[in-house]
Every structure is written in structure tokens, then in C-alpha cells.
């Protein structure tokens, strides 16, 4: 059996552009893609913290060092510039692979600078 597991996450990214008339995708600063190990054209899920929208698209490379998070095409209708979003990539894994895997978690500030990275999500307390 395989399970679909979180492979990488950009947490609290800020949308910098919303380009309705651009080919659909999400352009992400190549430095951020490298940090979270998301490849160009890889499927990603985006969760908008501000309005609850959740959708699929694919990543494309944005200018390195630009801090760009650009929602393009139909995705541009799902968030406004300045919205906080979470960008996730998932992968199928066997039970054996799960035993030794940790996701790449990258936490960003309001300017899309990396403030920390982690391999685990903190325990949620009641």
C-alpha cells in the first residue's frame, strides 16, 4: 500500500502578483523552490489563509532572488496580492519509505524571506 504524504511546504508565503492573463500556474522564486525541493511543473496545492480557498496548480520558476509568488491564469481569481498562502507538494510513499522520511518545511516572513526550516510540524496541544 502507498500513502500520499506531505513532501514539502512553503508556509505563510505572501502573494506578490496575480496575473489573470498569463498562462495558468504559480511562479515561485527559484530560491524558494530550491529550499523546499519543488521542481518546475510539479503539481502543488495552494491553501489561502485569508479566504479559505484551496486549489491545485503547478509550479513554474520565478526570478531567483525576487521573493515572487505569482498566481497566474484562473488561480489569480483565488487570491489577492498580499494574501498569505500555504504551498504544498505531496508524494506517494510506501510504508517502508515513510519510516525514514521527513518533509521539507520552509517558513516565510511577510516579505517571503526564509525565517526558518524544519523537518517536522510542532505538536498541536489541546
Arithmetic mean of pLDDT over the chain: 96
pLDDT at 45: 98
74 annotated to a ligand binding site: yes
98 pLDDT above the threshold of 90:
yes
CATH numbers and ranges of domains, the chain: 2-113 (2.40.40.20)
Q: Is the dihedral of CA 27, 32, 34, 36 positive or negative?
A: negative
23 — pLDDT class (breaks 50, 70, 90):
confident
Is 58 a catalytic site residue?
yes
The two counts, helices (H) then strands (E), for the chain are 2, 9
Round the CA-based radius of gyration of the chain to a whole number and report it: 14
Closest of 103, 91, 113, 89 to residue 12, by C-alpha: 113
Please tell me the pTM assigned to this model: 0.94
Catalytic residue among 22, 41, 47, 58: 58
110 annotated to a ligand binding site: no
73 annotated to a ligand binding site: yes
Q: Which residues contact 98 (CB under 8 A, 6 or more apart)?
A: 3, 5
24 pLDDT above the threshold of 80:
no
Cβ contact 69:38 at 8 Å? no
Q: Is the dihedral of CA 106, 107, 109, 114 positive or negative?
A: negative
pLDDT in tens, 29-78: 999 999 999 999 999 999 999 999 999 999 999 999 999 999 999 999 99
Is 70 a catalytic site residue?
no
Amino acid at each position: 500500500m502507498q500513502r500520499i504524504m506531505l513532501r514539502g511546504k512553503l508556509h505563510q508565503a505572501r502573494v506578490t502578483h496575480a496575473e489573470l492573463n498569463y498562462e495558468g500556474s504559480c511562479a515561485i522564486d527559484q530560491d524558494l523552490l530550491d529550499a523546499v525541493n519543488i521542481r518546475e511543473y510539479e503539481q502543488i496545492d495552494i491553501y489561502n489563509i485569508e479566504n479559505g480557498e484551496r486549489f491545485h496548480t503547478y509550479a513554474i520558476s520565478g526570478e531567483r532572488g525576487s521573493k515572487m509568488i505569482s498566481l497566474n491564469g484562473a488561480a489569480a481569481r483565488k487570491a489577492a496580492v498580499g494574501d498569505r498562502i500555504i504551498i504544498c507538494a505531496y508524494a506517494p510513499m510506501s510504508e517502508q519509505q515513510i519510516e525514514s522520511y521527513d518533509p521539507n518545511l520552509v517558513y516565510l516572513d511577510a516579505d517571503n524571506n526564509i525565517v526558518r526550516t524544519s523537518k517536522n510540524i510542532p505538536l498541536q496541544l489541546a
